Amino acid sequence: MADEFGHLPRRPDRILKAAKWSMQGLEAAWLHESSFRLEVYLFVVLAPLAVWLGQTPVEQVLLIGSMLVVLSVELLNSAVEAVIERYGAEFHELAGRAKDMGSAAVFVVMMNVLLTWGLILLPRLF
C-alpha cells in the first residue's frame, strides 16, 4: 500500500511499513492462491536440493533464483487476476486476455526453471 507521503526518501519507519505491506501480500497469496502454495512447497523441497546439487555458488544461485522468479511472477499474476475479479466475474475479452497473459508469464518462467536445472544437472548424468 502507498502511504500518505508519496515518494519521499526511505526512512527506517517507512521501510518497516513497506516490509509489513509485503508480508501482507505474501499472506494473502498463501491464503487465497493454491498455485502459490504449491510453488512454495516445491521451493521448500527443491532449494535444499539445489544447494546440495549445485557445485559452485553460481550454480546454486541459478537453481534457486530460477525458482524465486516463479514465485515472483505468480504473485504478479495473482495481483492481475485480483484486480480483474474486483471489477466483476462477467466475461470480457481484455480481461480474459490479461489473465491468459499472466498465466503464460508463469509458464514461461517455469520453462526457465526446467531449462536452468536441465542444463546444469543433465550433463552430470551423461
Q: What pTM did the predictor assign?
A: 0.87
Q: Can you tell me which residue has the cell 530460477?
A: 66
pLDDT tens-digit readout, 65-75: 999 999 999 99
Contact 113, 70 (CB under 8 A): yes
Q: Tell whether 7 is in a known binding site.
A: no
Q: Provide the residue ranges of all domains of the chain, joining segments of one domain with +.
A: 33-120
CATH class of this structure's domain 33-120: mainly alpha
Would you state the torsion angle of the CA atoms of residues 108, 109, 111, 113, taken in this order, to the nearest 10 degrees? 180
Q: Tell whether 17 is in a known binding site.
A: no
Q: Tell whether 81 is in a known binding site.
A: yes
**pLDDT of 5 higher than 90:** no
* From 27, 59, 74, 85, active-site residue: 74
Say whether 85 is catalytic.
no
pLDDT tens-digit readout, 25-50: 999 999 999 999 999 999 999 999 99
What stretches of 1-126 show up as alpha helix (H) in DSSP? 12-32, 34-53, 57-86, 93-125
43 or 10, greater pLDDT: 43
pLDDT tens-digit readout, 87-107: 887 888 999 999 999 999 999
Q: Which three cell numbers stand for residue 69?
A: 522468479
